[in-house]
A and B are shown apart, each in its own frame.
Chain A
């Protein structure tokens, strides 16, 4: 079993829909990261959180440390949100453990 599991693997939505991507992990962590990988391949960090909730524009990330679970929400989704969303956990030292990613497609 992977240390970081994301669901769903693939998600197709209509423009304007509310989207949730989930991340579960099985180890103790010091922080959790959400990243976005554009269709062209570039990777951008969206959030880093160790507790509670963070919001940036239409993106909201939450984490429940006791349940070892995090969610990434996108409100009022848009085709430009189409990308792969990756969850990564900080376990020991300088190491991040990454999930396989969730491929999101938002249709106009």
Chain B
């Protein structure tokens, strides 16, 4: 099993460009999450999907959109990238919804917006 995979691993964008970060899990998990990690701050939840067909905003959703394409895949889209979105992005999944279940993390995507 690959667990949680993310593409790309690295990306450099110019301000105003758009891109989609891809995430897939092969553990048949119901819930998936997108986080960002910035220096001096803890991981922060951007969006989550408690189950296929549902998505909800997290702590820092502005400037992002998500799509739960199917049970395996959860994508994060930046429509018009800004330098403030320079960060490391992690996707995670868990078997059941709710923060009282173990979350499995992808390897991360390092995004730089110039």
Q: Which residues of A contact B (CB under 8 A)?
A: 2, 4, 30-31, 33, 35, 41-45, 48, 50, 86, 88, 90-91, 93-101
Contacts and interface: CB of A to CB of B under 8 A. Distances in A.
Nearest to A44: B105
Nearest to B45: A95
A41 B98 contact: no
Given A43-B90, A45-B103, A99 B42 contact: yes
Contacts of A90: 98-100
A44 B105 CA distance: 7
A94 B41 CA distance: 20
B102 interface: yes
A2 B97 CA distance: 25
Given A86-B42, A100-B42, 16 more contacts: A41-B110, A45-B103, A45-B105, A48-B100, A48-B101, A90-B98, A90-B99, A94-B31, A94-B97, A95-B48, A95-B58, A95-B59, A96-B43, A98-B44, A99-B42, A100-B40
A50 B97 CA distance: 17
Among A48, A94, A98, max chain B CB count under 10 A is at A94
A2 to B, nearest CB: 8
Contacts of A2: 42
A41 B107 contact: yes
B100 A50 contact: yes
A96 B103 contact: yes
Interface string B56-71: 1011000000000000
